[in-house]
Structure 1
């Protein structure tokens, strides 16, 4: 295979990826009448891959119930991403948005990034940010 052939294959692959902006995959399991409750605790695992040369990233999300069964998965491609940190942060945000859109009240967001850390603090400890958000 020549360098030109490899280049054509890569270009073809990138063109194919451009057409895959967002794809949501949902696994449907017949559990009879049992439906997940809104207050059920679920885990959403996220990861991101980043291509520095093309400034593109891919977010991958998997939603698991408390028994470890897959409730949903999602893959999202992004353009104009500046760094791996931005790609990971965006994937974490999408994990939160996915959980909210599925109607869950309690989520555990799980990823391998040590650069993103969310922690709960009571409103009184976060008075300044709360006031700004309320005024906005």
Structure 2
């Protein structure tokens, strides 16, 4: 990246920028209100994450997930974003930080107020010039299909459970798909001392979340045929049911993703994961198959796995 941008990011990460909070701390000024929104103290996190102007910029850039982390330390927040970004998103994020600060200084020193959309277009233009891409044909609108950043790796994971009430044992069947419907991974897990069918489904969903993390996937859609489990995972309130501890484990892992979606599907649409779970419970065999290993497994044959699960 250009040195002017890397140097600015370095200054931001150490909070070495002359925002109003820092200037007031050094007794240079007395008013530390944000000059854009006038609703909060202009510290670094407010400038780059919390100001209404900035939040809209992240939304327009399809980077609204960077606001999911509410750390009160600028270094921790930047580190969290960088760890969860691919290369294209890192570049876009850094260009945005640089131009957000640049436009703020224009407002202070030149009384030039840049609109949110104009700022986003400016960020995209600089990014396009750096990447050697053509400038957008229509600079007056932001096309959602125009992606400077790399495509987010979206994956779909189907999960289901089989339960044996006689021995309190369950099996989780997980089927991972690529974005275009190609089979990516199979995972079968045995669980012991499982108290109920609901707990079995919850364990299967938890295993699906763990699988998404192990695949280093930015965006995952977890689909299952248990309305109860899906609804509990979608809620943000604390679950106080018998399976509350498992649901909390699932919800605590949301921060490992940019996007984690829980979706209910009918039993007929989840037949692959169901067959996998049932077969695993009968054989009591924990298995993880990916890549070339899939070809040797009976469930991964061409006849059993069509290209498009939808």
Same fold (TM over 0.5): yes
Once residues 189 and 162 of structure 2 are traced to their aligned partners in structure 1, the CA distance between those partners, rounded to angstroms, is 11
Structure number with the higher helix fraction is 2
Equivalent position of 1:52 in the other structure: 165
Misfit runs of 4+, over 3 Å: none
Calculate the TM-score normalised by the size of structure 2.
0.27
**1:89 corresponds to which of 199, 202, 222:** 202
Equivalent position of 1:10 in the other structure: none
Once residues 210 and 187 of structure 2 are traced to their aligned partners in structure 1, the CA distance between those partners, rounded to angstroms, is 12
Equivalent position of 2:192 in the other structure: 79
Gaps of at least 5 residues in structure 1 are: 1-36, 122-132
- Evaluate the alpha carbon distance shift between residue 38 and residue 101 of structure 1 in structure 2; reply closer, same or farther with a 3 A threshold: farther
Deviation at 1:112, TM superposition (A): 0.3
Once residues 218 and 205 of structure 2 are traced to their aligned partners in structure 1, the CA distance between those partners, rounded to angstroms, is 17
User: Deviation string for 1:64-107 (max 9, x for gaps)?
Assistant: 01111111010001110000000000000100110011100100
Residues matched between the structures, number? 87
| 1:119 pairs with 2:252 | no
Partner of 1:115: helix, strand, or coil?
helix
Which structure 2 residues correspond to residues 1-136 of structure 1 after superposition, within 5 A?
Answer: 39-116=152-229, 117=231, 118-119=233-234
Partner of 2:193: helix, strand, or coil?
coil
Once residues 226 and 235 of structure 2 are traced to their aligned partners in structure 1, the CA distance between those partners, rounded to angstroms, is 18
> Does 1 or 2 have the higher relative contact order (CA < 8 Å, sep 6+)?
1
Larger Rg belongs to: 2
Calculate the TM-score normalised by the size of structure 1.
0.59
Q: Over aligned residue pairs, what C-alpha RMSD do you find?
A: 2.2
Structure number with the higher strand fraction is 1
